[in-house]
Amino acid sequence: MNAVYDGYSYMPLYMSHSHATGFHHTWGYEPTAKNHSVSGYGLFGRAYFSRQMGTQLKAGGDYTSFKKTHGPPYNHFNPIYDPIEHNEYLLEKGVDIEALRLTHGGSGVARV
């Protein structure tokens, strides 16, 4: 590991076998106001679950299609990476950067 993605991220949270809600983070790892904007239960949670299953199925097909324009973090996002030794979040938490690099098989040289 030699960098940390510092940007917008979204993750659907599956609450049960047929209900879901969404969770978003912005830059600086702060949660957004859109978190849980859809109820995780009831009719809306079930409809959101169905929509997410279709979306995830399509994303999985795009990821495994072997086309040059697909893959994480998707072709339409501009990936912004902080070099691991300058990442504010890790420095604030007091994470040992060198130990983190060695744990993930890094040579200690940042390659971004």
What are the tokens at 47?
């409809």
For 35-94, write each residue's pLDDT tens digit. 777 777 888 888 888 888 898 888 777 777 766 655 555 555 555 667 888 888 888 889
The type of residue at 23 is: F
- Pairs from 34-40 (Cβ < 8 Å, separation ≥ 24): 40/13, 40/15
Q: Tell me, what amino acid is at 30?
A: E
Q: Give the pLDDT confidence of 81-100 residue by residue, as tens digits.
A: 678 888 888 888 898 888 88
- The pTM assigned to this predicted structure is 0.46
Closest CA to 34 of 43, 24, 44: 24
Rounded Cα gap, residues 26 and 14, in angstroms: 20
